[in-house]
């Protein structure tokens, strides 16, 4: 009886292994949804729509972008975490709701490590320190001196509670020794607009939502949070050059799907997204927005997540941020 059971199990596993390529070849069998936990016009939205346009042709199915901002990105990511494990629902995850949230909240609607599978990193780029153009500051030093003189009277916008924008400024304040009030928004477009209109003095975020306001002379960029100047922002100094080497942060994003999705399907999505990211038109569109395509394997992505969680978990504890 035991021998028959072992044989049965072995046959089942062999059948699944053989079925893997067939499952991937048949996928998708219905429209694919990409949930974006940020509003239209945000960097995540731009990335999702560029990919959706290329993937619909590869997959022979509509690829629908569904914007669900809120709760620091957790609202949208939760949709993918609770979806059927078949790869037809993807979410664009990023630092906040994936790597940071477990250290910020005692309760979450999903467990990033158990409920979600990292599929592929899409882009990774530094945050940019930006200020309202009417502020009397043109360098990082002048900004820090100005903020200290305000004695807690300054404020800053972010993409939401627990976002990379929020935590990068919290780290900057800790390292530079000044205080400012946090004003969270649902996504980068309204957070950037607040700086442009002067209702917020400063912000950290990736460049896309800021660039139109920079061109209109409403926002001034001071520095990037990268270790080295990226090609897309080579005229901006790094915070390390300005004397703050510890304030290094990359705002990455990538596709996630529900745990239990067949490995063959995850592999197909990964391969097709990698191909899309190498498309000259996609690369040019991302570069114009200051976004750097990454790609790579699902395992590569997982290693980045683990390293980011370890580093920022310690920073969150040091700075002392809890959001519930």
Residue 244 lies in a domain: no
- Mean per-residue pLDDT, 275-282: 97
Angle between helices 298-319 and 164-176 (to 10 degrees): 40
Can you give the pTM of this predicted structure?
0.85
Residue 1 lies in a domain: no
Q: How confident is residue 111, by pLDDT bands cut at 50, 70 and 90?
A: very high
pLDDT of residue 22: 67
Strand partners, 253: 94, 123
Residue 14 lies in a domain: no
- Mean per-residue pLDDT, 263-281: 98
pLDDT of residue 13: 43
Do residues 42 and 76 share a domain? yes
Rounded alpha-carbon distances, angstroms, from residue 168 to 225, 278, 294: 8, 30, 21
Do residues 99 and 39 share a domain? yes
Residue 109 lies in a domain: yes
Angle between helices 2-26 and 263-277 (to 10 degrees): 20
Last residue of a domain, one of 200, 233, 266: 233
CATH number for the domain including 279? 3.40.190.150
Do residues 154 and 192 share a domain? yes
Do residues 44 and 118 share a domain? yes
Residue 238 lies in a domain: no
Last residue of a domain, one of 206, 233, 260: 233
Residue 297 lies in a domain: yes
- Mean per-residue pLDDT, 237-265: 96
Q: Work out how many domains the chain is built from and give that number.
A: 2
In tens, the pLDDT along 123-167 reads 999 999 999 999 999 999 999 999 999 999 999 999 988 999 999
Residue 54 has pLDDT above 60, yes or no: yes
Residue 27 has pLDDT above 90, yes or no: yes
Do residues 133 and 223 share a domain? yes
Q: Which domain holds residue 163?
A: 128-233
Residue 259 has pLDDT above 70, yes or no: yes
Tell me the CA end-to-end span of the chain in Å, nearest whole number. 54
Last residue of a domain, one of 207, 233, 259: 233
Residue 243 lies in a domain: no
Q: How confident is residue 213, by pLDDT bands cut at 50, 70 and 90?
A: very high
Do residues 205 and 115 share a domain? no
Do residues 201 and 289 share a domain? no
pLDDT of residue 25: 77
CATH number for the domain including 183? 3.40.190.10
Angle between helices 280-288 and 263-277 (to 10 degrees): 70
Do residues 95 and 173 share a domain? no
Q: How confident is residue 319, by pLDDT bands cut at 50, 70 and 90?
A: confident
- Mean per-residue pLDDT, 226-236: 85
Q: How confident is residue 21, by pLDDT bands cut at 50, 70 and 90?
A: low
Residue 218 lies in a domain: yes
């Amino acid at each position: 009886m035991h021998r028959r059971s072992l044989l049965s199990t072995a046959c089942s596993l062999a059948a699944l292994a053989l079925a893997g390529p067939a499952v991937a070849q048949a996928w998708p069998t219905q429209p694919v949804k990409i949930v974006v936990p940020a509003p239209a016009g945000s960097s995540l939205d731009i990335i999702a729509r560029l990919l959706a346009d290329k993937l619909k042709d590869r997959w022979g199915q509509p690829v629908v972008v569904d914007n669900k901002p809120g709760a620091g990105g957790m609202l949208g990511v939760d949709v993918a975490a609770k979806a059927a494990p078949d790869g037809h629902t993807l979410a664009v995850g990023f630092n906040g709701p994936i790597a940071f949230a477990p250290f910020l909240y005692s309760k979450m609607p999903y467990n990033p490590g158990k409920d979600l599978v990292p599929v592929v990193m899409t882009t990774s780029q530094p945050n940019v320190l930006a200020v309202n153009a009417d502020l009397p500051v043109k360098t990082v030093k002048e900004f820090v001196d100005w903020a200290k003189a305000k004695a807690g009277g300054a404020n800053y916008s972010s993409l939401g509670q627990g976002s990379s924008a929020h935590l990068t400024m919290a780290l900057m304040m800790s390292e530079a020794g000044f205080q400012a009030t946090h004003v969270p928004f649902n996504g980068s477009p309204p957070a950037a607009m607040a700086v442009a209109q002067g209702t917020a003095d400063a912000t950290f975020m990736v460049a896309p939502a800021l660039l139109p306001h920079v061109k209109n002379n409403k926002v001034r960029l001071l520095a990037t949070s990268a270790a080295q100047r990226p090609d897309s922002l080579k005229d901006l100094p790094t915070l390390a050059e300005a004397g703050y080497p510890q304030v290094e942060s990359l705002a990455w994003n990538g596709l996630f799907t529900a745990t239990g999705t067949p490995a063959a399907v995850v592999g197909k999505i990964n391969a097709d997204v990698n191909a899309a990211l190498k498309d000259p038109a996609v690369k040019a569109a991302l570069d114009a927005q200051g976004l750097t395509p990454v790609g790579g394997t699902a395992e590569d992505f997982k290693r980045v997540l683990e390293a980011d969680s370890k580093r920022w978990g310690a920073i969150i504890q040091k700075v002392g941020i809890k959001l519930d």
